[in-house]
Amino acid sequence: MSIRLVDLEKRYGDNVVLDGFSLEVPDGSITTVIGPSGSGKSTCLKTVIGLVRPDAGEVWVDERRVDTLEGDPLYEVRRAAGFVFQFAALFDSMTIFDNVAMGLRRAGELDEAGIAERVRESLDLVDLEGVEDKMPSELSGGMRKRAGVARAVAMRPRYLLYDEPTTGLDPVTVTVIDRLILRMRDELGVTSLVITHDLESAYRISDRLAMLHQGRIRWVGPPEAIHDVDDPAVQGFIRGEPELWEEAS
């Protein structure tokens, strides 16, 4: 089982966001898509669970073509792929317990005692013991991010999709989140697709990096190989040299 994105195209009006985007995420790996803000990273991530429909191309998860699914079949794919939003996307009017329990209650497979146990297990997994009764506003940014991960893993997903997981966090908290992403792979066997423009984080967590440029994947490989890639788009991004990036065709 894996995630496969094949020749995706997506535009918003005259703005071409994805233009022949193809990527495979191997089972049990952490694959990270890097690129500047506004380059289409979030769009490619959202196609995996049908939050965005491509104009052309194919989206495959567990050998199911997601871009053609609706209703219950699409819901099943979304259950298999937990989504960790950029700013955690917790509901401010709900306690942390109720935020994490929300998907479990919707699924209707556990009684309240089972839900309570699953919520505690999920919060323990992300080192957030004892916050069940707190409101999101009472937690730091890093703690809210971890609560978002807990909500995703409570559903026992096979995949985790991370949208800019370290944006807006201090360096110490970034390391905490990076270790958590690695822990999800190592302890739960979860396959992860991460998007970020944080290169240091990407180097630490990734089994594979994928460079997004002008709507398509420019290069894929192990993190340690990226500095030797003879490609002006790749080198322009990792060196912070916009002239190289902009001149790359």
Q: Which superfamily, per CATH, for 3-90+159-247?
A: P-loop containing nucleotide triphosphate hydrolases (3.40.50.300)
Instruction: Quickly state the pLDDT bin for 16 (edges 50, 70, 90).
Output: very high
Q: What gap in Å lies between CA 15 and CA 27, rounded to an integer? A: 33
Q: How many CA atoms lie within 13 A of 31 on its CB side?
A: 24
Question: How does pLDDT run across 201-218, given as a tens digit for each residue?
Answer: 999 999 999 999 989 999
Q: How many CA atoms lie within 13 A of 171 on its CB side?
A: 2
Burial class (CB in 10 A: 0-12, 13-18, 19+), 75: middle
244 has pLDDT over 60: yes
Q: What gap in Å lies between CA 221 and CA 224, rounded to an integer? A: 8
Question: How does pLDDT run across 71-124, given as a tens digit for each residue?
Answer: 989 988 888 898 888 766 888 999 999 999 998 998 888 999 999 999 999 998
Nearest to 161 by CA among 92, 214, 98, 86: 86
216: part of which helix (H) or strand (E)?
Answer: strand 216-221
pLDDT the model gives residue 93: 92
